[in-house]
Amino acid sequence: MVRSIKSAKKIKRKNKGSKKGESSSVPSAPAKVWQPGVDALEEGEELQFDPSAYNHLRGFSIGWPCLSFDIVHDSLGLVRTEFPHTVYGVGGTQAKEASWNYIGIFKITNISGKKRELVPASTEGDDDMDSESSSDEDDDEDENGEASQPVLHLHKVAHQGGVNRIRSMIQKPHICATWGDTGHVQVWDISSHLNDLAESVSSSTVGGDNIHRLSPLVKFGGHKDEGYAIDWSPTVPGRLVSGDCNSCIHLWEPSETWNVDATPFAGHTASVEDLQWSPTEPDVFASCSVDGTVAIWDTRLGKSPALSVKAHNIDVNVISWNRLASCMIASGADDGTFSIRDLRLIKGDSLVAHFEYHKQPITSIEWCPHEASTLAVSSADNQLTIWDLSLERDEEEETEFKAKLKEQASAPQDLPPQLLFVHQGQKDPKELHWHTQIPGMIMSTAIDGFNVLMPANIENVLPPADA
């Protein structure tokens, strides 16, 4: 099956000689997809957002830049496909001063959008994308006929130092864990703030500059260095692992609060960058490291890795364990490459796919929770890409699709057939997450704020019955 490649940015000829509202006799050059690190802007050219690529796209900010966030599981429905949407999340700041940091607990309401055809309707005689932008940028309208806008509701909870990573517990979403740049891992109960947000119906941002004080349930200082790796178990409520820049991993077991094993898991020779629990095995988790390896650990077998594979020839920054196909694990590296491995073949040639599309370090990677063959990747090259590993090049279908587009935009010919979508416009993306309850929705954070996006060519597929 072949799906269209969509891109957030196109190059368009800018007619500098004409004023706004005047038509120009100079014909517009055909739009083409912009490739960072490959293309250069010529004089008179500018990058232009293509609204037809999205069912929804909006940006927002919680104040200071956010290195990490998580989407909070809510009670509004397991699978939601109808606009408008409501989203809950938590994010941690990287403020200018350590004492200014906080956890941002937020709700976004009135996320509206339109369903669009994968192939745009014919626009005879219209060679200017401005007309397309003006019609497609309007989402649903309110009772007064005015375009509705998403509304951000925000609470802030003081946090000691910057937040390197934050994760909400799957089974108890009001419990979240933070990795701080002070070297402490803390667990928080944010239920009162989530409840306040749930009751909020204000038409404007709430919270303001008021930063609430809240004591953590647990504050663990047993790591010998700060870290970034942390993950809640999807099968055992409250079970947690945290890894640090000193190559150590600690296991947290729930009790009245939490018991943290003082003896770390050891096996990596450099910083542990990311951790992921198995989606099916309660005692198994994976890790990746600056030493270039991906390791599989079994808590029943001691403190050494059960398996370890040299995944990349450079730092491995992030991993993602496929929750719909638990034999597959993805890893992203500092050289911009990412790989897919089959854990059933981990002792042999386990490499399923390897991609070298991105030009800068991979900063986040995550499998789609509703489609086993699809994953999203973000990179320091200012791109967020979506990939479908089930796709293969079909020249006949590609030719037919391009004919229907009538050359509205020219896509590069050398792109991998698995590349499904390219999102641009954020500066230095840091982390992305799929929304597990809203098929097709992705949220990403970058130095210049958040984006909520729903690509037009990502189907609102339903999860399998046994997922």
Select from 381, 397, 418 the last residue of a domain.
381
Residue 163 sits in a domain of what CATH number? 2.130.10.10
Residues 112-168: tens digit of each pLDDT: 997 654 444 444 433 332 333 333 344 455 554 445 799 999 999 999 999 999 999
Q: What percent of the chain has pLDDT over 90?
A: 70
* Mean pLDDT value across residues 246-251: 98
Band the pLDDT of 460: cuts 50, 70, 90.
Answer: low
| Residue for token pair 């020779």 | 269
What average pLDDT is seen over the chain? 85
Asked whether residue 245 falls in the same domain as residue 200, the answer is no
Q: Which of 332, 361, 381 is the last residue of a domain?
A: 381
The pLDDT, as a whole number, for residue 159 is 98
- pLDDT tens for each residue of 334-355: 999 999 999 999 777 899 999 9
Range of the domain at 260: 223-381
Sign for the pseudo-dihedral over CA of 357, 362, 368, 373: positive
| 286, two tokens | 């994976």
Query: Among 361, 381, 401, which residue terminates a domain?
Result: 381
Taking only the tens place, the pLDDT of each residue in 278-305 is: 999 999 999 999 999 999 999 999 999 9
Cβ contacts of 351 within 8 Å, gap of 6 or more:
339, 340, 341
Instruction: Tell me whether strands 175-180 and 185-189 are parallel, antiparallel or unpaired.
Output: antiparallel
As for how many domains the chain has, the answer is 2
Residues 64 and 213 in one domain: yes
Same domain, 230 and 214: no
> How do beta strands 429-434 and 316-321 pair?
unpaired
